[in-house]
Amino acid sequence: MMNTKRTWKTVESGPRDYQEALHPVVRKNYGKWHYHEMLKPGVLKHVAENGDILFTVRAGTPRQDSVDLIRRICDIADKYADGYLRFTVRNNVEFMTSDETNVELLIKELTAIGLPVGGAGPCVSAIAHTQGWLHCDIPATDASGVVKALMDSLIDDFKSLRMPSKVRLSTSCCAINCGGQVDIAIVVKHTRPPRINHEILGNICEMPKVVARCPVAAIRPEVVNDKPSLIVDNDKCMYCGACFGACPAMEINHPEHSKFAIWVGGKNSNARSKPSVMSLVAHNLPNNPPRWPEVTQVVGQILAAFKKEGRPWERMGEWIARVGWKHFFEATGLVFDKDMIDSYRHARTTFNQSAHLRF
């Protein structure tokens, strides 16, 4: 007869309770906040209904952090923030303290290790970016390099409150756009089909897997020079680079034909207006490392126009919807061309993209 008595203890998997990581003041007043205010760039003050006060200091990080930097950040949290810190969705780090005297000490220590304080409120926050060559196999260029070049030119807008509203930027290394929908997105795109090395493809690639990985069924088996290989239908190929991840013999990255594009007007939140998808406003910008001056210039032109004409708390897409696309291109000095028109036959304009009720 089977013994049905359990002699082991179940080990639960999954994440720990998030409340364990909350600052005691946050945990005590969860859902009971009276108001909050911004004392200076990167410094917030939250006041609870019972009078408890919590100060938050936000600083930018490189995102790709070394172990040494993480340890120094943790030491600062132990010293001034009761051992609590958190990272935001844009890779900023926040320290929380109930002691106002720790605020200036936090700012001083963070500045000393090279982490600028800011990124909260009506400013340019840190740029969210994809893995790039650090991890991904599809990138057309290095995401972190572009972010470094851009933030070097935008650092004053990160540390101040002189934008009409928050400005969220992202970089994505390919058309998959892992950076998501943001105010300004820098998307790097392949513009040519992969170059196939037929001599080695049959020896190093699992051809059925490569055929299956193509999202538009543009790859099919073929015999080339008496060797099993693959060919690409150039009319179907959309230059996504997915095949290269499964087969290194299908090289798609190219120093000349991998180009930058700028998209604007994306938004995820339901605040004031519904979420929106981005629109293309500049493309075929050269992949010009290490500083990518052409990309920096275009982003600067867009931000300058938005800073001049945007209304308080108006997001980039809301500003464009108010003034119109014609005025947007005039104000930014960018050139409109026919390739920016969405003519995809399956494009839908009536997606329910928000939580707003419609009748």
**pLDDT for residue 180 is more than 90:** no
Query: What percentage of the chain carries pLDDT values higher than 70?
Result: 93
- Look at 315 and 351; give whichever has higher pLDDT: 315
pLDDT score of 179: 85
Fold agreement (20-112, 128-191+256-338) = no
**pLDDT for residue 212 is more than 50:** yes
Average pLDDT value for residue range 56-76: 94
**pLDDT for residue 2 is more than 70:** no
Calpha distance 296→186 (Å, rounded): 10
| Region 20-112: CATH code | 3.30.70.3340
**pLDDT for residue 358 is more than 60:** no
Architecture in CATH for domain 128-191+256-338: 2-Layer Sandwich (3.30)
**pLDDT for residue 94 is more than 90:** yes
If phi over 0 gives left and psi between -120 and 50 gives alpha, with beta otherwise, what is residue 227? beta
SS3 238: coil
* pLDDT 10s digits, 27-43: 999 999 999 999 999 99
pLDDT score of 274: 86
Fold for 195-250, please state it. Answer: Alpha-Beta Plaits (3.30.70)
Range with the largest mean pLDDT of 147-151, 297-301, 349-353: 297-301
**pLDDT for residue 345 is more than 60:** no
* pLDDT 10s digits, 117-130: 999 999 999 999 88
Calpha distance 90→169 (Å, rounded): 9
In sequence order, what E strands does the chain have? Answer: 33-40, 43-48, 53-59, 85-87, 93-97, 128-129, 169-172, 184-190, 195-196, 219-224, 227-232, 250-251, 258-264, 279-285
**pLDDT for residue 1 is more than 80:** no
pLDDT score of 193: 93
**pLDDT for residue 197 is more than 90:** yes
Query: What percentage of the chain carries pLDDT values higher than 90?
Result: 69
Can you give the residue ranges of every domain in the chain? 20-112, 128-191+256-338, 195-250
Average pLDDT value for residue range 168-189: 90
Global pTM reads 0.87
Name residues whose C-beta falls within 8 Å of residue 128's C-beta, 6 or more positions apart in sequence. Answer: 89, 90, 91, 168, 169, 170, 171, 179, 180, 182
Mean pLDDT of the chain: 90
Closest by CA position to 100, among listed 21, 47, 24: 47
pLDDT score of 342: 66
pLDDT score of 349: 56
Q: What is the DSSP string of 291-306?
A: T-HHHHHHHHHHHHHH
**pLDDT for residue 359 is more than 50:** no
Q: What is the CA radius of gyration of the chain?
A: 25
Using the structure block, give the residue that is written with the tokens 């970089």. Answer: 171
pLDDT score of 334: 96
pLDDT score of 344: 54
Q: What is the DSSP string of 122-148?
A: SSB-PPEE--GGGT-S--SS-HHHHHH
